[in-house]
Amino acid sequence: MENTEVYYQKSFEKIKRTKADGTEFWLARELAPVLEYKRWENFSGVIDRAMLACQNSGNKVDNHFVETTKEVEMPIGKQFSNKTRGFRDVTKTPQNKAKGIIDYELTRYACYLIVQNGDPRKEVIALGQTYFAIQTYRQEIADRFNQLDEDNKRLVIRGDIKQWNQLLAEAAHDAGVITNEEFAIFQNAGYMGLYGGLTVEDIHERKGLAIRDKILDFMGSTELIANLFRISQTEEKLKRDAVDNASLANAVHHSVGREVRAAIERVGGTMPEDLPTPDKSISQIEREQLAALREKAKKKPLMLDE
């Protein structure tokens, strides 16, 4: 049975909607029950506080809380208040008729502000804060990433790969890949899947690298991203499928690499072995940036007490 955190993460994902342009949003009326708010008037107060927080943070409220309406059938002879029920007018309905009720299309940031202003006694509110904080952070990272130049994109992705490679090594070990020789075979299987049968040695030679050069240090951002996807998806599949022997782990790594290659081919992308090899290694870029930082620090004037 899945734990509470996973359950609610899936619940948040399940109600997420996507527009034609790829923009993600959540509807307030669908988010309320997931956050265990049974009455709209209680949840609308949370939305109001979230809107105020949005405004105070310097963001435009209308960009994150987009008011919409939807039609619902009204019971006979009931009176509804715009303030407490979220309806657009107050009227007694002599017969069943459709009424427009207020809803909001919420951005990820709006959802984050809502859970920040929700009832802290609810476990789901705490879990929602974690979920939307992570999602918001990822979006911010993506936005900043798109503004980076090629060298800095390579540095960022290479850092991610180092972390995921560590996770992959642990998952492979748990799957039965124990010795250094077994791990070398396991790594080779992934590269062969992604690079159309080319081995680590073949790729090394194709890039014209020296013996001690690391292949990953001589990849551009596009090639690094393909390998990051290979690594992360293999790690997840090894754990998800509870792989328990080295041979099967090798097959999984090769299969995932091959699937990533097929996806690149489907979208008309350049095969990884055909992508250009950068002139500078990532290690060299790191050294140059560190040297520049040290030089800048030397030139900084001393701050003396007056």
Q: Per residue in 158-209, pLDDT tens?
A: 988 988 999 999 999 999 999 999 999 999 999 999 999 999 999 999 999 9
For residue 254, the SS3 value is helix
Res. 72 pLDDT band, cuts 50 70 90: low
Which range has the worst mean pLDDT, 37-46, 52-61, 89-98, 191-200?
A: 89-98
Query: What share of the chain has pLDDT > 70, as a percent?
Result: 85
Confidence at residue 270, expressed as pLDDT on a 0 to 100 scale: 96
Which range has the worst mean pLDDT, 49-53, 68-72, 110-114?
A: 68-72
Is 44's pLDDT higher than 50? yes
Confidence at residue 222, expressed as pLDDT on a 0 to 100 scale: 96
- Sheet holding 24-27: strands in order across? 17-18, 24-27, 98-106, 65-73
pLDDT in tens, 246-284: 999 999 999 999 999 999 999 999 999 999 999 999 999
Confidence at residue 171, expressed as pLDDT on a 0 to 100 scale: 95
Two structure tokens written together for 13: 């994902």
Q: Contact, 230 vs 260, CB < 8 A?
A: yes
Phi, psi of 90 (to 5 degrees): -115, 120
Is 59's pLDDT higher than 60? yes
| Mean pLDDT, all residues of the chain | 85
Is 244's pLDDT higher than 80? yes
Is 40's pLDDT higher than 50? yes
Task: Convert 33-89 into a string of H (helix), E (strand) and C (coil).
Answer: HHCCCCCHHHHHHHHHHHHHHHHHCCCCHHHHEEEEEEEEECCCCCECCHHHHCECC
Confidence at residue 3, expressed as pLDDT on a 0 to 100 scale: 62
Q: Look at the alpha carbons of 134, 137, 139, 141 in this order and tell me if their dihedral is positive or negative.
A: negative
Two structure tokens written together for 228: 């990051």
132 vs 109: CA distance, rounded Å: 7
Confidence at residue 116, expressed as pLDDT on a 0 to 100 scale: 87
- ∠ CA 37-64-103, nearest 5°, is 45
List Cβ<8 Å contacts ≥24 apart for 68-71. Answer: 68/27, 68/102, 68/103, 68/104, 68/105, 69/100, 69/101, 69/102, 69/103, 70/29, 70/100, 70/101, 70/103, 71/98, 71/99, 71/100, 71/101
Quick one: which of 222, 36, 176, 26 has its CA closest to 106?
A: 26
pTM above 0.75, yes or no: no
Tokens 């207020």: give the residue: 102
Is 301's pLDDT higher than 80? no
